[in-house]
Structure 1
Amino acid sequence: MKNTLSILMVDDHPMILEGYKNTLLQEKDFNLEIDTATNCDTAISKLERPGSNYDIVLLDIKIPPCANGKILSGEDLGVFIRQKFLSTKIIILTMFSEKIRLTNIIENVNPDSFLIKSEVMPLELVEAVKGVMNGEKYYSETIKKLNKQQNQDSVLDDYDRRIIFQLSKGTKTSHLVDYIPLSLGAIEKRKRRIKEVFGINRGGDREILDKARQLGYL
């Protein structure tokens, strides 16, 4: 008897979702029940739907945030899944290849599989699904190399990402305390550290936001 796997695929490009779906449906070793979502709100509503019990979430990083501003990206959604759905495996597929961004995703989400889209052939996606269901990590070559070079000092946490998000919305630093439960002094210290992580030697919010967009935080 074949195994039945329940999978939620989250990506904001419907054609990519269809490609993943077609690739996995050709696999004969298991029966699949596949749901899709193109943004964080839809993904959360499907995860929290009564009776839902996904074995795997296939997760892109750059997806539209929740309307309430609490879940800002696939990285935040991955953290949410880790906290709320302990038995669900997470497979991340992303176009991002910058060391800082990938290191943050590894540290914050600890995905069961981590693939760079430009490196993935259809067979590798199937092998990743099989691997994580057998309790194995399945990483792209880029991620394998990065794992040997990780630097904890370059990791941005939830507060850091929320600071960046609010700055992108035009929120002044003095008003960030209305959105983030930290003192103004703590927020200013975090902004300085964000600039250090991003390698910004001079400049202000604009430079932070430019680098955040380059790295896929926005």
Structure 2
Amino acid sequence: MKISLKILIVDDHPMTVDSYINLLSDTDFQKKQPSFIKSYNCEDAYNKIKLQQIENINIDFALLDISLPPFKELNINNGIDLAILIREKFANCKIVLLTMHSDPLTVDKIIKEIKPEGFISKSDINFELFPIICKKILEGDIYRSNTIIQSQRNLFKKNINWDKHDNQILTLIYQGVKTVNLPNYIPLSMSAIEKRKANIKDQLLKGKGSDKDLIEKAKKLGLLQ
């Protein structure tokens, strides 16, 4: 029988690895004929990744705990370094990072550098949700658990450089008020409003995008409800 789905699972707790395998061995995943590669530390995971590459066998899906015993010889210190390696060797592999820690700077760094298809705080998931989330990721979804999303929002809010008038501009645009009419609501000149709006777009969209794009980005970040 041809193996159509190769899944790498790396966690330093063997019982956790076995739990993931059990959860992903339901009917939906069995239809895809999954084959599991188990590993409990960075060195063993590195060796198994390299073996798959040598044998020209793809890794399709990787579940990586961030905190792992390191492989100091090659400076592979955690699941983040393994994710970088997998990105280099298996470009189409969908990567899910799991963590018990969600400090904003680390979360931001991981999302920018690795762009994982899944980023999950272990405190956010249970046995019922886990296979559902993984199935959606395999089908093409990008998933961030609630704690990870909140961590991103907190970092972004700390770095936003604007005042109450900027918040008013964003809120009024969200409510459908056209830019030309904003001076009727805010005690600023049209020139000042346009400069502030450009600053908001710079910070949220790096200057590129429509008002609709601006609102969608602000909603994703939790700046608008």
Normalised by the length of structure 1, the TM-score is: 0.63
Of 82, 87, 91, the match for 2:87: 82
Q: After the TM superposition, which residues 69-148 of structure 1 pair with which residues of structure 2 at under 5 Å, given as runs?
A: 69-148=74-153
Which structure's residues are more often helix, by fraction?
2
Q: After the TM superposition, which residues 1-218 of structure 1 pair with which residues of structure 2 at under 5 Å, given as runs?
A: 4-29=4-29, 30=31, 31-49=33-51, 50-150=55-155
Tell me how far apart the structure 2 counterparts of residues 68 and 24 of structure 1 sit (CA, whole Å): 33
Letter in 2 for 1:32: P
Tell me how far apart the structure 1 counterparts of residues 21 and 141 of structure 2 sit (CA, whole Å): 22
- Tell me the secondary structure at the aligned position of residue 131 of structure 2: helix
Q: Deviations over 1:62-109 (max 9, x none)?
A: 101114142111111111212222111101111112222222222222
Q: How many aligned positions are there?
A: 152
**In the TM superposition, what is the alpha-carbon distance from 1:59 to its structure 2 partner?**
0.3
1:68–1:91: structure 2 CA closer, same or farther, 3 Å change rule? same
C-alpha RMSD of matched pairs (Å): 2.4
1:112–1:150: structure 2 CA closer, same or farther, 3 Å change rule? farther
Structure 1 window deviating more from structure 2 (58-67 vs 103-112): it is 103-112
1:109–1:67: structure 2 CA closer, same or farther, 3 Å change rule? same
8 Å contact kept, 2:11–2:41:
yes
8 Å contact kept, 1:46–1:52:
no
**In the TM superposition, what is the alpha-carbon distance from 1:122 to its structure 2 partner?**
1.8
- Tell me the secondary structure at the aligned position of residue 8 of structure 2: strand
**In the TM superposition, what is the alpha-carbon distance from 1:21 to its structure 2 partner?**
0.9
**Identity rate, percent:** 33
Q: Which has the higher contact order (CA 8 A, sep 6+)?
A: 1
**In the TM superposition, what is the alpha-carbon distance from 1:52 to its structure 2 partner?**
2.8
Tell me how far apart the structure 2 counterparts of residues 138 and 5 of structure 1 sit (CA, whole Å): 20
- Tell me the secondary structure at the aligned position of residue 97 of structure 1: coil
8 Å contact kept, 1:75–1:108:
no
Q: Deviations over 1:136-155 (max 9, x none)?
A: 1011012223344556xx9x
Structure 1 unmatched ranges of 5 or more: 155-218
Structure 2 unmatched ranges of 5 or more: 160-225
Letter in 2 for 1:40: C
**In the TM superposition, what is the alpha-carbon distance from 1:8 to its structure 2 partner?**
0.4
1:145–1:79: structure 2 CA closer, same or farther, 3 Å change rule? same
1:107–1:87: structure 2 CA closer, same or farther, 3 Å change rule? same
Tell me how far apart the structure 1 counterparts of residues 146 and 27 of structure 2 sit (CA, whole Å): 23
Normalised by the length of structure 2, the TM-score is: 0.61
Tell me how far apart the structure 2 counterparts of residues 59 and 74 of structure 1 sit (CA, whole Å): 6
